[in-house]
Amino acid sequence: MLRVENITHSFKNGNEWTPVLHNINFEVKQGEMVALLGSSGSGKSTLLNLMAGLMKPTEGEIHIADHNIVKMNENKLSIFRRKHIGFIFQAYELITSLTVRENVELPLVFQSVSPSIRKQKSLALLEKVGIPDKADLFPSQLSGGQQQRVSIARSLITEPSVIFADEPTGNLDSKTEEEIISILLQLNKTMDTTFIVVTHETDVAEQMQRIFTLRDGYLVPEKGDSAEMVTQGVTNIEN
C-alpha cells in the first residue's frame, strides 16, 4: 500500500545542496506497523514528510494506494492527503480555541460531513483512545498524554489508509509513552490502519512489526519481528 522508490533528497542553502536522504527503497503492506528508527539528524522527519506529501523529493517516487503522490499537483495532492493520510505530531498541534471533540471532528468539517455523524464518530474514537469523558474540555485542560490521545483520534477520523507519526511520544514521560504506544498498537490491530512511527528509541521501535533504520540518510532495513530480534540478540540497531 506504500512504496518508496529510489528516494533521494537534498536541501538547498544558498548555492549549496545538502544531501539528506540517499536512494531509499522499501515497501509497506496494508495494516503493517513500522518503526522508522534513527538518531537525531538521520533524516527521519524528512522521509516522513515526503511520504505524507508535505514536500516533494529531489528524486524518486512514492506510491500510496496505487497513486504516485510525487506526480500529483498541489490541488490533487491536498484532496488525496485528506482522504488517505493521517498525521500525528510530536507537539500534538491541537487548536486551543476548539474543544477536544471539535478538534477531533475538524478533518470531517473540511469534508462537509454532517454534524450528527461527526459527533458520533468523534465520540466513538475518544472512547477508543480512552478519554470519552474529555470531549467538552479544551486542550489546555488536558495532560500531554491526553492531548496526544486527542491528536490520535483526530488522525483516525477520516479512516485514512496510512498514519504517519513523527516522534509521537517525544514530549512525554516514559510511563505515558508506554500508554500511547500501546494505544497505537491496539488501534493498528483492531482497525487495519497502516502506521509509520518515527522514533529515536530502540525499545519503542522493537514493539513494532518491522523496523527501518536510517543512518546518515541511508536505510538499513531490519527484517523479522521484534520477538525474533530480541531472542536472536540482534544488537546492530545503532542510535
Footprint of ligand ADP (CB under 6 A): 11, 13, 18, 20, 38, 40-46
Residue closer to ligand ADP (CB basis): 14 or 233? 14
CB atoms within 10 A of CB 176: 17
Residue 13 C-beta: closest distance to ligand ADP, Å: 6
Contact 124, 87 (CB under 8 A): no
**32 vs 167, which CB is nearer to ligand ADP?**
167
Q: Output the smallest distance, CB 207 to Mg ion, in A.
A: 19
- DSSP SS3 for 26: strand
Q: Which of ligand ADP, Mg ion, none has residue 17 at its interface (CB below 5 to 8 Å by kind)? A: none
Q: Which is nearer to ligand ADP, 50 or 172 (CB)?
A: 50
CA distance 43 to 15: 21
Judged by CB under 5 A, which of 4, 20, 45, 57 binds Mg ion?
A: 45
155: partner contacted, choices ligand ADP, Mg ion, none (Cβ within 5-8 A by kind): none
The three grid cell numbers given for residue 196, joined into one nine-digit string: 509509520
Instruction: Tell me which of Mg ion, ligand ADP, none is bound by residue 18, counting a contact when its beta carbon lies within the kind-specific cut-off of 5 to 8 angstroms.
Output: ligand ADP
Cα separation of 150 and 154, whole Å?
6
The answer to whether 210 and 197 have CB atoms below 8 angstroms apart is no
Q: How far apart are CA 64 and CA 53, in angstroms?
A: 10
Binding partner of residue 96 among Mg ion, ligand ADP, none, CB cut-off 5 to 8 Å per kind: none
By CB under 5 A, residue 199 contacts Mg ion: no
C-alpha cell, 35: 518503526
Q: Write out the three cell numbers for 123.
A: 465520540
Please say which residue, 6 or 18, places its beta carbon nearer to ligand ADP: 18
The Cβ of residue 17 has, within 10 Å, a number of other Cβ atoms equal to 11
**For residue 10, which amino acid is it?**
S
Question: Residue for cell digits 483492531?
Answer: 190
Closest to Mg ion by CB, 45 vs 188, is 45
74: left (phi over 0), alpha (psi -120 to 50) or beta: alpha
Q: Which is nearer to ligand ADP, 40 or 236 (CB)?
A: 40
Closest CB 217 distance from ligand ADP, rounded Å: 7
Minimum CB separation from Mg ion for residue 35, in Å? 14
> Rule CB under 5 A: which residues touch Mg ion?
45
